[in-house]
Every structure is written in C-alpha cells, then in structure tokens.
Amino acid sequence: MATNEAQETRVGGPLANRSLANVYESASNDPQVAQVWGYTDRLSYQAGETLHLHLNTSLPELTIDILRDGGSLVPVHRAAVSGRFRETPPDCSVKGCNWPVGYELAIPDDWPSGGYRIRLTASAGSEAVSSDHWFALRAEPARARGDILQIAATSTWLAYNDWGGSNHYDGITGPGGDKFAPEVSTQRPWSRGFCWLPAGAPRTTHRETPALNTVPRYPHLDWAYANGFSKKYGSAGWASYDRHLCGWAERQGFSVDMATQTDLHYRPEILDGYACVVVVGHDEYWSWAMRDAIDAYVDAGGHLARFGGNFLWQVRLEDEGRRQVCYKYRARDEDPIRETEDSHLLTSAWEDPLVGRPGATSVGLNGLRGGYANFGNCVPRGPGGFVVYRPDHWAFRGADVYYGDVLGGASHVFGYEVDGLDYVMRDGLVYPTGTDGAPDSVEVLAMSLATCIEDDHGHEGSVFFIGNPDGAFAANVLYGGSSPEAVDRTGRGSGMIATMTRGKGEVFNAGTCEWVNGLIARDIQVETVTRNVLARAIAAGPP
C-alpha cells in the first residue's frame, strides 16, 4: 500500500531528504558514463522459445551470465557480446526504453522451470559496472509437473520498480513532473535490489523493539541510500521475497515450477496439473483475470497456499502484458473506464464498492482490513508474529504451539503489510463477521494487530513514511467518507492466518509479507507450518 505521492515528496529533515525523496536509477545519456543495463522482451519463457535481451552499455564489451536461482545458484549460460550505447527516452518508465535487441538465446530444452537471474557485467581498464535482470522459465506442457507451481508476484514488482523515475507510488509524470505513474512499462531494467541483494541487506520490519520516546526509523531506506540500491528494494522483488520460498522448498525436497502473474492473466491453463499453487511475499496487485484463474482452479479442487500480504489493488494489463495500469487513489476521478460498461475493472482497491470484489472471496482475507505492523510507527512494539488461537488446527501439527503463543515472533514474520478481516471475539476465539465479504468457510487460526495509520506522538525530528493518507483512503472505501471518526477506525486493523474452502478446493493464507523471514531464519515452527501446508496440498493431488 505505502504510500501516496504527497507523502513520498515530503521533506523535513535528513531522513526525508535522503530516503523519502524521489531518488531513482536510470541510464545516463552521456556515453562517457560507465554503465550497463538490460531487460528481456518478456517476463517468462518456455524451453525452446527465444529470449530477446535488450542491452545498453557505454563500454566496448559486456558479459552475460544466466543463473538458475533456486535451492542453489546454478550457472547455466555465459556469453560475451560487443557493447553498444543507446539513448534512453525520459519517459522510459512509462513507455519503455525502446533499446534494440542486443542478444538472443534459444532456451535449451534441458533447462528446468524456475527463476533465472541475468547478471550483466562490463569493464574497461579500471572501470567495472554490473546490473541484474530476471525471468521465469515455465514448465513445458508435455512434461511432468513439479510438486508446486509458484506464481511470482510480478505485478507488485512492477508497481514498485522505480527504474527510470516512475512507478505506481511516485515519479516524474504529470504537469509538475512529480506524480506517480498510473501506467508503467515492463520494457526497462529492474531497479537495483529487485533481482539480487547482498547478504545482510536490512528487511523492512524492525529487528529490535524501538526505544521509548524516539523518532521512527526505517533502516532499509538508510541502507539503500548509503549503498546505491533502490529505496523500494525492501517492498517488492525476487531478491527480497519470492526467491526465499522456492529456495527453501527445493532444499526441503519439493520440486518447484515457476510462472508469473502475467502468465496467470494470459495463460490460465498454466495451473492445470498442479496440486499446489503458491504465492509469497508482497502480493499486492492482481488483475480481474488473474483472480478468475485462481478462483476456477480452487473451485475445481486445487489448493492455494498464500504466504503473502497486502492483497489490495486491481490492475489492468495492456499491450500483451508489457504495460500495467493502476490509478489507485485517483481511480474514481481519472481511470478512463470509470463510467463505462467495464467499470468493475476500475483500478482501485478490491473492497471499493465500484469494484465490488473483496479479496476475501479469493484468498480469505482483505488488504484494507489489515495494514502495517512492525514498521516505522505502525504497531512498532507489537509481538512481531501471530498470536495463535486455534493450536489444534492441522496447519500447526508438529509445531508445538499452544493457545496464546506467538508464532514467528523471534523471526519477525508479522509485517510490514498484512491482511485481515472484520471480526468478533467469542469464547476467546476469533470469528469473521462476514460484513466485508469473508465467506462462511473462513476459519481464523492466528491473529495480531495492525494499522493503516502511522501514529505521531509529537517527538521532535520525526519524519513519517506512512502518516495517515492511507487511513483516509481506506475510510473512504470502507465507510463512505474520511471523517476523523472513520479514519480513526482504520487505525485498528489486523493480520491473520486463515483457511477457507471454496468449491472443491482449499485456501491457506498466512496474510503477511514477511513470512519468508521465518524461512530465512530457519524458524522451526514457521518451517513446520509451511511444510504442513505444502504436504497437505500435494497429498490431495491436482484437481
């Protein structure tokens, strides 16, 4: 969710000047600047198809390394090509870089499905530069399916990718050159930190409980500024989120195939034959067609395992997936379909009455009923994990959790954005009210508190990343207005672990972005729950 353009462009101190301002990467049009960039023509391929790599470098030669990034990092291809410098248009983040193809590769038939990182390096004398890109390799239809199909959350990556200056949060569009872009292109590089991160890069959630009477801190933003990475690296991307689940699963003995949300949108048949479909990390942006595909899969008897948070915005894909559209906060006023027969495709929140398709109907939880936690001044001293209410549920089997235990607290799995529901407490248990679209079959297993508002206690020198604009937006959508009372209600949200049945299938939802923290930290209880969910789905078999 975080944050809107007005909040992003605030200044008021060193932190704001460094980390909240719109600082971004882009290619230089000065050929004397050492640089190397590249992007693929598509987000995914199938063995036998040709990968087209668009390149731009000011140095005479570059090296292309392709590595499969799963349970281990496996080099699969290397090539050296002559470098050529290309001009980059100023609106590249919206309309694409339009660089010509610099390298082509017919993908070998023996490459397994998965996530692949492309490392570009170039050097001349003492100058050496590098950048990274990524693509998914889908399983061939005729081949046996893996245990799991992981859908990379590429629509959320694209929404946060600020390479070239604009994304769905801030940017260089509009009359003043300072507005976020409702349209963004895939035909550009990924920002530094989206495809690869060094060990030790801070995550967005607090690692230590903030001291009393102190200003909010965002260590990942400070680290990004100091080390030349995108300030959005901690919000989305392969490196921060998706790779950790597939890597862990492969090391545990599960076979994992990979696809993207764009595949889900245009090729819903990719789900055929899989017993378990997994989504992980910051999973914020979906199209109507993507949801249709997942709903049909679950209705037919499939199992969706979601270890992700912030199911919030509807997007539209255009130009065969090369362009993503999301007007977000401005959708009711600016989205060109708002008064057409396709108005249900309005790129607003799923809970917006003009859209009318709450996320809970697909995944059991809603984004606007959740919010932020363990981040800045948003529930900064919360438990960091989920408080368990139904310890006897099959998902907790073997995890040795008791009623009231905090699952994943030590590994900080709860945050930075989470999903919840409107709920009531009866006899010490959590029950959905159903007023926000939650189906009757939803069962809440664990829960902690979240908020759409970053509280200001008046500590001198405070600069806020979230503030209260998201609370005002949520109040308008949920309660029909942004009165102080309505905004105040959005300050009391939740994040949940829930299960539900839909048709013949089942959904498990650990509604938090940071579930992968538990896998990274080898938190045995988080690992046990993850293993239980995957094993149950695989044992049930494909629909």
- Which stretch of 131-145, 200-214, 364-378 has the lowest confidence by average pLDDT? 131-145
What sections of 480-523 are H helices per DSSP? 484-490, 515-520
Q: Output the pLDDT for position 124.
A: 77
Alpha carbon distance 411, 526 (integer Å): 9
Q: Is 373 exposed, middle or buried (0-12, 13-18, 19+ CB in 10 A)?
A: buried
Alpha carbon distance 202, 160 (integer Å): 18
Does 14 have pLDDT greater than 80?
Answer: no
Does 69 have pLDDT greater than 50?
Answer: yes
Q: Output the pLDDT for position 22.
A: 77
Alpha carbon distance 231, 314 (integer Å): 24
- Residue 3 preceded by cis peptide, ω within 30: yes
Query: How much of the chain exceeds pLDDT 70, in percent?
Result: 96
How far is CA 86 from each of CA 24, 54, 118, rounded to the nearest angstrom? 19, 10, 20
Does 9 have pLDDT greater than 50?
Answer: no
How far is CA 399 from each of CA 394, 498, 520, 523, rounded to the nearest angstrom? 10, 17, 17, 10
Q: Output the pLDDT for position 162.
A: 96
Confidence of residue 500 (pLDDT cuts 50, 70, 90): very high
Does 116 have pLDDT greater than 90?
Answer: yes
Q: What is the per-residue pLDDT across 181-234, written as a single tens digit (0 to 9) for each?
A: 999 999 999 999 999 999 999 999 999 999 999 999 999 999 999 999 999 999
445: nearest Cα among 410, 397, 412, 502: 397
Q: What is the mean pLDDT of residues 154-166?
A: 97
β-sheet bridge partners, residue 507: 304, 500
Q: What is the per-residue pLDDT across 250-285, written as a single tens digit (0 to 9) for each?
A: 999 999 999 999 999 999 999 999 999 999 999 999
Q: Output the pLDDT for position 23.
A: 85
Q: What is the per-residue pLDDT across 76-87, written as a single tens digit (0 to 9) for each?
A: 999 999 999 999
Strand, helix or coil for residue 374: coil
CB 26 within 8 A of CB 92: yes
Alpha carbon distance 527, 376 (integer Å): 27
β-sheet bridge partners, residue 179: 173
Q: Output the pLDDT for position 19.
A: 41
Sign of the alpha-carbon torsion through 179, 185, 189, 195 = positive
184: nearest Cα among 292, 322, 368, 309: 322
Confidence of residue 20 (pLDDT cuts 50, 70, 90): low
Convert 120-152 into a string of H (helix), E (strand) and C (coil). Answer: EEEEECCEEEEEEEEEEEECCCCCCCCCEEEEE
Q: Name the residue type at position 488.
A: D
- Which stretch of 49-58, 104-113, 463-472 has the lowest confidence by average pLDDT? 463-472
Count of C-beta atoms within a 10 Å radius of residue 44: 24
Q: Output the pLDDT for position 46.
A: 96
CA dihedral 264, 270, 276, 279 (to 10 degrees): -20
Query: How much of the chain exceeds pLDDT 90, in percent?
Result: 90
Q: What is the mean pLDDT of residues 437-462?
A: 96
How far is CA 395 from each of CA 197, 384, 400, 526, rounded to the nearest angstrom? 31, 20, 11, 10
Alpha carbon distance 394, 8 (integer Å): 43
Q: What is the per-residue pLDDT across 299-348, written as a single tens digit (0 to 9) for each?
A: 999 999 999 999 999 999 999 999 999 999 999 999 999 999 999 999 99
Name the pTM for this structure: 0.95
Domain residue extents for the chain:
27-142
Q: Output the pLDDT for position 1.
A: 52
CATH topology of domain 27-142: Immunoglobulin-like (2.60.40)
